[in-house]
Structure 1
Amino acid sequence: MSWQETLKKWTSFAALDEALLKQLNEVVKDEKEVEDAFYKNLTFGTGGMRGVLGPGTNRMNIYTVRKAVEGLSLYIKENVQHCEERGVAIAYDSRYMSQEFAIEAARVLGSHGIKAYVFESLRPTPLLSFAVRYLHAAAGIMITASHNPPEYNGFKVYNEDGGQVPLKEAAAIIEKVDLVADELSVNVAEQKDLEANGLLTWVGEKVDKAYLQALKGLQKQENASDDLTIVFTPLHGTSHDLVLAGLNQVGFTNVHVVREQANPDPEFRTVESPNPEEHQAFTMAIEQGQAINADILIGTDPDADRLGVAVIDANGAYQVLTGNQLGTLMLDYTLSHLSEEERKNGKLIKTIVTTEMGRTVAKSYGVDTIDTLTGFKFIGEKIKEFESTEEHYLFGFEESYGFLIGDFVRDKDAVQAAIVACEMANYWKKQGKTLLQALDGLYEQHGYYLEGMKSLTLKGKDGAEQIATIMEDIRANPFTELGGLKVLAVEDYDTSNRTLLVEDKNEIIELPKENVMKFILEEDAWVCFRPSGTEPKIKSYFGVKTTEETKSKDLLQAIQSQVEERINQIIA
């Protein structure tokens, strides 16, 4: 069916939701916009289904959500034992339509006789992962678009282990979703009937308490110190209550919340982007921190799976740590507080675009590292595999501010990370050091690792074609040198092939196939290219290592400039 035919199907649907009909009448006035809304269906990427709110098959709305849940229902009925009574856990964040989508999901599940456990108010994504495991549910649904702009929402699917569905499961679910011929005619039950029949159960406080109890197991210090002054911002999202409760039970009471950003707000009015990766998101926290001389600033993204941290530097200004820096610090802190026996057969899990410093630090403690593709679902998948081996999980992180310490959650968890980051800052303060000074010590010990990332946004159908062209050109004409360093190996994850240029031989990459290219350079430097699975972006990742900060900065800049020039030539 062409996009014009799909559009006609929607405009002629007599029972179309009134709000969507009103929006559709505006959208059809712009041919390019209406084509983008209907030329394809939203698909699952590294984090699930995510898109702009509005009418159309390529948009997030009650009909695309119903279609996705219909496919999920068909999948779990065939593949998960006792799924009807075990049910599906559903949570949602502070975005527009989040609660409505959660209820629509429950209505579709209910039409199949599958029970839904729906949180009575917004909750963090990691709590949904925990809830699936705690409730022994057959699956989980999280309605969120993470840190995307306000016009977005999304839909993440979790399996019965509490992890985001891995590639094979996702493909099977997508196959079921594709069997749903008409998203407009998916059966839904009435909410009041589901509540009366016990097919919709509202949950909350009991799960929260169980999660907070699990958090206690991460504590490495007997008593936290009121001497540590903390500024916390949930960036208008879901983490406020759980982070404060978690800090309090560890013993941190000198916590100051950025009040202007404490309440949920789908517009995220006080920030350009509700993303702790973006340093502007810390503007208000920095102002408050300066006023009270805070030791540490912590900020979570709206669905509380990413954590950012800022601390005072040598000049008295607050510096936001990168995800690689924070992850390396927490890894070192975690491993240093484990005995040799506890570390035995333990593993660090990181993604292929995450700092190599993590591998070096882990090795210094006798811990091996496992690399995965980008996306925390692959880390969750490895944790599950450890249940049938002698290996066990110690720590996992990715460069984009995603961290997981305790495996009672199977996705990145900013609540966990916030508690551990503050405990770590308290530990180093007692040693007379800030986190930056602790990081300098790691650089002196292991080398000056520095990373960067450039993100190019190319929206719409034309943008998707440009992103494809960039990847095709890089494959057809691979780099042979960057920043004056020779390329030693080329890794094409789409073909699972690693070409070792010096040895003139090929190896198989033992990871799932994905549209990613990585170049391994001399002197432990590397560059990686990856189209985003959830946003209209192509991302370029960079890593270097030298013996000095200035040398690393200069080398990183040289490599980034050369890559940027090449990409500009491709799309010119």
Structure 2
Amino acid sequence: MIKFGTGGWRAIIGEDFTKSNLQLLSQGLANRMIQENADEFVIGYDRRFLSEKSAQWMAEVMAGNGIKVYFINKIAPTPMIMFSVKEMKLKYGAAITASHNPADYNGIKIFTEGGRDASAEVTNEIEVEIRKIEVEDIKVMNFDKAVNEEKVVIYNPFNDYIDTIINMTDLKAIKDKQLKILLDPMYGVSKTSLQTILMTARCEVELIHDRHDTLFGGRLPSPSAETLGRLKNNVVEKGFDLGIGTDGDADRLGIIDEKGNFIHPNEIMALLYYYLLKYKKWTGPVVRNLATTHLLDKIAEGFGEECYEVPVGFKHISSKMEETNALIGGESSGGLTIRGHIKGKDGVFAASLLVEMISVTNKHLSKLLDEIHEQFGKFEMAEHGFGFDVEEKERLLKILYTDKKIPEFSFEVERVSYMDGVKVFFKNGGWIIARFSGTEPLLRVFAEMDCMDKAEIVCKEMKEFLGI
């Protein structure tokens, strides 16, 4: 019943996300920590229903097993928890969050040494350990008792996290520009941290959707063109320089430019990589997952750098960044980090760096994007998600992975990769990928071409071929 995906364990509240399952997972992790002589742990939580209580349940199991818990007792962005694992030199930590999933989900993200997402090897081994546990094996210490006995220590890394981002940002350039920023935390956890950074940099900051709402206003807490409608309208109507939206746990972001255009996460990655190379004169390769724009490849090539492709899952990005000393790494869903920061996605830091970019270059995002497209060409991506039941998934798996069949596309195929899902490369430089989501019951189909019409054509051909 407990199965980790690319973004941790996520499940529907009351169905699989229950106190008993959470305690079971916690005991499995505690057993592993004891085997590794890891006796300290940090945990934080987001604004979802049951998140704070779930963090306490997890802390009770850790304390019951003799593991000292640093408990972040205020809502915390996931990247701040990862930062804490890194700064405290801990072997493990966790966030209670289901990130951008619907409101009826919750979950747990496990972090390992250096402040990175747990690898598939680690989570697979935790799953094996969980299957060995009986109910009577679970050790629990009452939360209040654990606090009184200092087995659970109340901890607040807010200042250290904020100061680290401020020190990595050109605050003077931002102060001189005095930008007007509209922030949409999407009822999530970024409000305090990002607002503090921007106001410290003397930006004029206004907020929308910042109250505590466990239903996320009836929307997915995922920053996209569809969910950031109010942000888009307000940016244009009130003359903001930038609109920033962050997902439920603030590890990803979505951007609205000064003209009200949604800036796709692919373009955010391209903007930041280009900015770091050209304007800050930094050097280094870029790492992207295989469903992220090949515009990054072109930019890397233009500056004499390399672009590395990895499977979906930020753990693959952070590992490859470490291996290659990459400057930046990210994915098309809006998560990224740069060299020298945490080994995971940080929407708060990425937003701060975008504000710096506008200030240092004295150019709005639309102008900077025009600059990139003039040099490296334009890339358009079509994105689709198709739901399925168990029987349907088996049928699709057989077609794609067992029989390895693909459609007769309108464009000539160069090669096919099965690194993660099925990715078809076309001779015209475009591509299409079909892969099963690691966080939701969806088959994701992405295609990138030099125009949207072509991208939609190949998506339609894949859809009709698979009968979905």
Larger Rg: 1
Residues 168-206 of structure 1, C-alpha deviations (whole Å, 9 max, x = no match): 212222211121134x762211112211222101111xx
Superposed displacement of residue 218, structure 1: 2.7
Q: Within 1, Cα distance between the matches of 2:337 and 2:432?
A: 25
User: Do the aligned residues in 1 keep the contact of 2:235 with 2:256 (CA within 8 Å)?
Assistant: no
Q: CA deviation at 1:403?
A: 1.5
The C-alpha deviation readout for 1:223-256, integer Å capped at 9, x for no partner, is 214542211111111011110111133x242111
What corresponds to 2:14 in structure 1? 54
User: How far did residue 216 of structure 1 move?
Assistant: 2.6
The runs of 5 or more residues in structure 2 that have no matched partner are none
1:362 equivalent in structure 2: 300
Match of 1:276 in 2: 223
2: CA distance between counterparts of 1:446 and 1:287? 30
Taking the TM superposition and a 5 Å limit, the aligned residue runs for 1:370-409 are: 370-383=308-321, 385-386=322-323, 391-409=324-342
The residue number in structure 1 matching 2:413 is 487
1:357-404 CA-partner distances (Å, limit 9, x unpaired): 111112222221222110111122234x44xxxx42311110001111
TM-aligned CA deviation for residue 295 of structure 1? 1.6
Give the 5 Å matches for 1:161-310: 161-182=114-135, 186-204=138-156, 207-220=157-170, 222-224=172-174, 225-249=176-200, 251-258=201-208, 261-269=209-217, 271-277=218-224, 279-310=225-256
Task: Work out which of the residue numbers 70, 78, 96 in structure 2 matches 1:117.
Answer: 70
1:535 and 2:468 matched? no
Paired residue for 1:560? Answer: 459
Q: Is the partner of 1:485 in helix, strand or coil?
A: coil
* Change in CA separation of 1:221 and 1:212 when aligned onto 2, cut-off 3 Å: closer
Give the match for residue 55 of structure 2: 102
Contact 1:479 1:487 in 2 (8 A): no
Shift of 1:283: 2.3
Partner SS state of residue 89, structure 2: coil
Matched, 1:441 2:371: yes
Cα deviations across residues 65-107 of structure 1 (Å, max 9, x unaligned)?
A: 111111111112113x4x11xx111010000110111011111
Q: Which residue of 2 aligns with 1:72?
A: 29
Instruction: Give 2:140's aligned amino acid.
Output: V
Residue of structure 2 in register with 1:508 after alignment: none
Task: Indicate the residue corresponding to 1:32 in structure 2.
Answer: none
Cα deviation for residue 421 of structure 1 reads: 1.4
Matches within 5 A, 1:3-152: 41-55=1-15, 59-79=16-36, 81=37, 83-84=38-39, 87-152=40-105
Which residue is equivalent to 1:11? none
> Which residue is equivalent to 1:10?
none
Residue 220 of structure 1 deviates from its aligned partner by 4.1
Tell me which of the two structures has the higher relative contact order, counting C-alpha pairs closer than 8 angstroms and 6 or more residues apart: 2
Instruction: Report what 1:421 is aligned to.
Output: 354
Q: What is the identity, as a one-letter code, of the residue corresponding to 1:374?
A: V
Contact 2:318 2:329 in 1 (8 A): no
Number of residue-to-residue matches in the alignment: 466
Give, in whole Å, the separation in 2 of the partners of 1:61 and 1:95: 14
Aligned alpha-carbon RMSD (Å):
1.8
What is the one-letter code of the residue matched to 1:254?
A: E
AA matched with 2:203? T
SS at match of 2:379: strand
The sequence identity of aligned pairs, in percent, is 24
CA 1:141–1:113 in 2, change beyond 3 Å: closer, same or farther?
same
Q: Which runs of 5+ in 1 are unaligned?
A: 1-40, 494-513, 546-551
1:15 aligned residue: none
For residues 11-70 of structure 1, the C-alpha deviation after alignment (integer angstroms, 9 at most, x for no partner) is xxxxxxxxxxxxxxxxxxxxxxxxxxxxxx120111111010004xxx101111111111
Name the residue aligned to 1:17. Answer: none
Flag the 1:221–1:134 CA change in 2: closer, same or farther, 3 A. closer
Report the Cα distance in structure 2 between the residues aligned to 1:174 and 1:406, rounded to whole angstroms. 31
The amino acid of 2:56's aligned partner reads I
Q: Which amino acid aligns with 1:61?
A: T
Please say which of residues 98-107 and 467-476 is displaced more in the overlay: 467-476
- Aligned with 2:326: secondary structure? strand
